[in-house]
Structure 1
Amino acid sequence: MTATGPTPTVPLSVLDVVPVFEDGTATSALRDTVALAPLVEALGYHRYWVAEHHNTTSLATSAPPVLIGRLASATTTLRVGSGGVLLPNHAPLVVAEQFGTLEALHPGRVDLGLGRAPGTDPLTARALRRAPDRGHDDFPRQIAELDGYFAPADPASGITAVPAADGRPELWMLGSSPASAVAAGALGLPYAFAHQINPQASAFALERYREAFRPSAHLDRPRTLVSVLTTVADTDDEARTVASPYLLGKIRMRTSPRFDAFPTAATAAAHGYSSAERAFLDELVEPQLIGSTATVRDKLAALLARTGANEVMALTVVHGQGERLRSFTLLAEAAAAAAVPAGGDGSVRL
């Protein structure tokens, strides 16, 4: 399987949750992810991030640093990283050691995206030793501690995160609310907004981020990306069909006590959708990048005009490696056709 295509005008990246389908396993999903990364690199994609989830059998992303190392070894120019490491689940020192090691082995190619959600259920959160009294107010302190380990060692602290002090990965803050946007801006960090989770808040959150932004050692002006649920095919109907395993999965997540794996394309095709289910899916699909190349081109241009984001990160959960690569190929074509230049202030202008 090869991948070639036009160079996107708008920087494109990938967010991979390593989906597990009913006819596959977590092992096969991980191998598919490693095989996919060099193919999207050949298409001109900029970053490849993997998420963090625990006790979630439908998503094989429980160990981002391990997977990131394998992805870095399978590629040459692609930035690889976390979308994100859920920092309250971990000791900042351990995260610094892990990502310091990744940066040492793959200098200039490692991103450390940080989130504060548990990424799992309360029982598993406790098993991860997530402190029960640790609230959101502790998150900035954790980031400051983590960031400190990437600075030259302070003899007074008595702790050195080896080899973190030799090289710092690119730090990002992740979020899906205006509150996280303000926090990222105040810290002077680049900000990644989860449009696939909260599309109604995207433009407002990124505006709040820019208002709150203060230059830092990391960044002298705002930098943003939006992650978007994306499926591109030859026609709008085909894109909806290709996306149907994920869409049916979303219905099952809402109605089933346990969600073990995403349905296959055949299972999704055989499902009889109720009127309420169709209405739910219509509402879910409309703000996302799902459709033909022409439809996604127009949706992408409109999204960038509303948000001013510098970069788009595609979350593509479809059944079959070929369909997934096809979607990324057509997205690159749509982005090239959108021809959206970057403005001088770091935002994106049409």
Structure 2
Amino acid sequence: MTAPFALSLQDLAPIAEGTSTSQAMAETIALAQTADELGYERLWYAEHHGMPSIASSVPEILIGSAAAHTKSIRVGSGGVMLLNHAPLRIAEAYRTLEGLHPGRIDLGLGRAPGGDGYAMRALRSGGGEEFSNYLAELMAFDEDSFPADHPYSRVPVSPGGISLPPKWLLGSSGNSAQAAGQLGFGYAFAAHFSHTPPAPAFETYCNAFKPSAAFPKPRTIMCVSVICAPTDEEAQYLSRSQAVSWALFTSGEQRKLMSPEEAHARVLTPQQQAVIDHQSSLWIIGSPQTVADTIAEKARGSAADEVMMTTTIHDYGLRRRSYELVAKAFDVAPRV
């Protein structure tokens, strides 16, 4: 099956039971190289804080590492939680990345905190302020458009002579769709955890879209959760690690990603099982044919230009195999 949409990856840098954090970080490089060789369009890193099962807390460091170890794949944030950061610091960080790897960096921006209330306090997050104010400040720094009497007009953004990479807004309910269109950004929808259908948000985005230098026409990404294995049965077996981890997280018990053997043996409360029953309806799990058919159906239903997959499997080799199977199912042309 040849996909009429691009295929991309999001990496949360999961930390599996029985492995060290250093091993998890090394795996981000191995996965980036695999994705580049397989022909995937882009690879994004999330920003999450205070979660023992996830090593992706500082996307720009992972982006720089992945870009330095690959040749062609676009690498970016999926996304920077802007309320956690001074806009000037983000402007300088992503200008630096763009200068080091011109034409290969994406700046995805999200309004969520990326952690619980304690993490937000530790980050000095501006969660009580408007995301739009942070975004306007970021753009003013990049475009040098502060009014002359504004104190920040005297602050040169370093490094100079470089603009920010293409900017994307991330959403999970459609609230950001109109803003993304009006600003001429790309728009990515988190269908991997949101039960809100992406199609209305994409329609709102496209109707509001105003062309920009980075995006002469609208560009939409639908992010989905995928676990692929040679058979439906094996994929379902491997998915238990993700399912139990999600249930434990929502009930306040956080730990590294457990093996499927331990996950299947874990006795859950009725409330935890209800969480899995509710959330698992969003997950795409199965053989290459099952996964490809389901992704294609969802992409057609939402009119997405691109599908971005995030995959949570305890065994890192089997996670890379999952992406290999999906790329082959969609006849993605590998890069030489």
TM-score, structure 1 normalization? 0.87
Q: Does 1:162 align with 2:154?
A: no
Tell me the percent identity: 41
Check whether the contact 1:232–1:296 (CA below 8 A) recurs between aligned residues.
Answer: yes
2-structure distance, mates of 1:242, 1:216: 43
Check whether the contact 2:225–2:284 (CA below 8 A) recurs between aligned residues.
Answer: yes
Check whether the contact 2:167–2:186 (CA below 8 A) recurs between aligned residues.
Answer: yes
Alpha carbons of structure 1 residues 285 and 306: separation in structure 2 relative to 1, 3 Å = same
Q: List per-residue Cα deviations over 1:197-244 (Å, max 9, x = no partner).
A: 114321222122222223334423211001100111112121111221
CA drift at 1:285: 3.1
Q: Of 186, 193, 210, which aligns to 1:214? A: 210
Equivalent residue, structure 2, for 1:343: none
Q: Does 1:25 align with 2:20?
A: yes
Check whether the contact 2:247–2:273 (CA below 8 A) recurs between aligned residues.
Answer: no
2-structure distance, mates of 1:74, 1:117: 29
2-structure distance, mates of 1:282, 1:139: 33
Q: Does 1:203 align with 2:207?
A: no
Equivalent residue, structure 2, for 1:16: 11
* Number of residue pairs the alignment of both structures matches: 328
2-structure distance, mates of 1:131, 1:277: 32
CA drift at 1:280: 4.7
Residue identity opposite 1:31 in structure 2: A
Alpha carbons of structure 1 residues 285 and 217: separation in structure 2 relative to 1, 3 Å = same
Equivalent residue, structure 2, for 1:258: 253
2-structure distance, mates of 1:316, 1:306: 22
Secondary structure of 1:166's aligned partner: coil
Check whether the contact 2:3–2:296 (CA below 8 A) recurs between aligned residues.
Answer: no
Residue identity opposite 2:171 in structure 1: G
Deviates more, 1:214-223 or 1:179-188: 214-223
Q: Of 19, 27, 35, which aligns to 2:30? A: 35
Alpha carbons of structure 1 residues 132 and 27: separation in structure 2 relative to 1, 3 Å = same
Alpha carbons of structure 1 residues 279 and 260: separation in structure 2 relative to 1, 3 Å = closer
Residue identity opposite 2:259 in structure 1: T
Equivalent residue, structure 2, for 1:142: 134
CA drift at 1:276: 7.0
Deviates more, 1:24-33 or 1:99-108: 24-33
Equivalent residue, structure 1, for 2:184: 188
2-structure distance, mates of 1:268, 1:150: 47
Secondary structure of 1:178's aligned partner: coil
Equivalent residue, structure 2, for 1:247: 243
Secondary structure of 1:150's aligned partner: helix
Q: List per-residue Cα deviations over 1:37-85 (Å, max 9, x = no partner).
A: 1111111011111100112111111211111111111101011110000
CA drift at 1:297: 1.6
2-structure distance, mates of 1:273, 1:258: 12
Kindly report the root-mean-square deviation, in angstroms, between the aligned alpha carbons of the 2 structures: 2.3
Which blocks of at least 5 consecutive residues in structure 2 are unaligned? none
Check whether the contact 1:244–1:268 (CA below 8 A) recurs between aligned residues.
Answer: yes
Check whether the contact 2:108–2:168 (CA below 8 A) recurs between aligned residues.
Answer: yes
1-structure distance, mates of 2:147, 2:161: 13
1-structure distance, mates of 2:180, 2:301: 20
CA drift at 1:168: 2.4
1-structure distance, mates of 2:261, 2:139: 47
Equivalent residue, structure 2, for 1:110: 105
Deviates more, 1:170-179 or 1:149-158: 149-158
Secondary structure of 1:61's aligned partner: coil
Equivalent residue, structure 2, for 1:175: 171
Which blocks of at least 5 consecutive residues in structure 1 are unaligned? 1-5, 338-350
Q: List per-residue Cα deviations over 1:145-202 (Å, max 9, x = no partner).
A: 2123333687941111111542321111111012121221222210000001114321
Equivalent residue, structure 1, for 2:324: 329
Check whether the contact 1:10–1:335 (CA below 8 A) recurs between aligned residues.
Answer: no
Secondary structure of 2:197's aligned partner: helix
Check whether the contact 1:293–1:334 (CA below 8 A) recurs between aligned residues.
Answer: yes
Q: Does 1:308 align with 2:303?
A: yes
Equivalent residue, structure 2, for 1:237: 233
Residue identity opposite 1:109 in structure 2: R
TM-score, structure 2 normalization? 0.90
